[in-house]
Amino acid sequence: MRFRFIPKADTPEICSFFAEHWGDTFMVTQGKVRQLSELSAIVAEEDRQLVGLVTFTITPEYCEIVSLDAVVPDQGIGTALLDQCLSQLLPHSNPIVLFTTNDNLNALNFYMKRGFRLHRVHHGAVALARKIKPSIPLLSEQGLPIEDEIELRYTGQSIC
């Protein structure tokens, strides 16, 4: 697997990947719109095919991992991309945060094994996000209402 750092994530390749995975070329967390043009990215490639993407932002107050996707699950792509991303974020002394939604139990399992800890539950935050991005579904594929944003922070205490 090869990794490519892209300082400004609004390339056509990333826009189309992001739209396919997240319904549009922006993400909403905490009521804030995060456009790809405001984010950096690392892509994972195999045989020149994009197999994974992580997007993130570094601000004076915090570093935020905005999205992480693996095209094929359970082959180590997500872990490798997270490691690549952390190696860029850790030199900044800011807290490393990310937000996922209450239905994404797979992501919670993934991140909590890899040094992230629950920091806060933002009850009802997805309703606000849905006003800005109506394509956010009401229910997960498993039928769970998608309602809350779960804030995780990196503590470094990985159990992997």
Ligand X SMILES: CC(C)(COP(=O)(O)OP(=O)(O)OC[C@H]1O[C@@H](n2cnc3c(N)ncnc32)[C@H](O)[C@@H]1OP(=O)(O)O)[C@@H](O)C(=O)NCCC(=O)NCCS
Q: Which residues bind ligand X (CB under 6 A)?
A: 67-70, 73-79, 100, 104, 106-107, 109-110, 113, 160
Report the residue number, 93 or 101, with the smaller CB distance to ligand X: 101
Quote the CA–CA distance of 11 and 4 in Å, as a whole number: 13
Choose between 72 and 90: whose C-beta lies nearer to ligand X.
72
- Taking a C-beta distance cutoff of 8 angstroms, is the pair 111, 104 a contact? no
Rounded least distance, CB 134 to ligand X, Å:
20
Q: Based on CB atoms, which residue is closest to ligand X, 1 or 6?
A: 1
- Least Å distance between CB 109 and ligand X? 6
Q: Which residue is nearest to ligand X (CB)?
A: 78
- Closest approach, Cβ 69 to ligand X, in A, equals 4
Question: Nearest approach, Cβ of 21 to ligand X (angstroms)?
Answer: 7
Q: Which residues contact 122 (CB under 8 A, 6 or more apart)?
A: 30, 99, 148, 149, 150, 151
Those residues with Cβ within 8 angstroms of residue 2's Cβ, 6 or more apart along the chain or in another chain: 44, 45, 46
Could you give the C-alpha distances from 122 to 56, 63, 89, 90, in angstroms and in order?
Answer: 20, 18, 24, 25
Locate 103 and state its tokens: 């239905």
Q: Which is nearer to ligand X, 93 or 115 (CB)?
A: 115
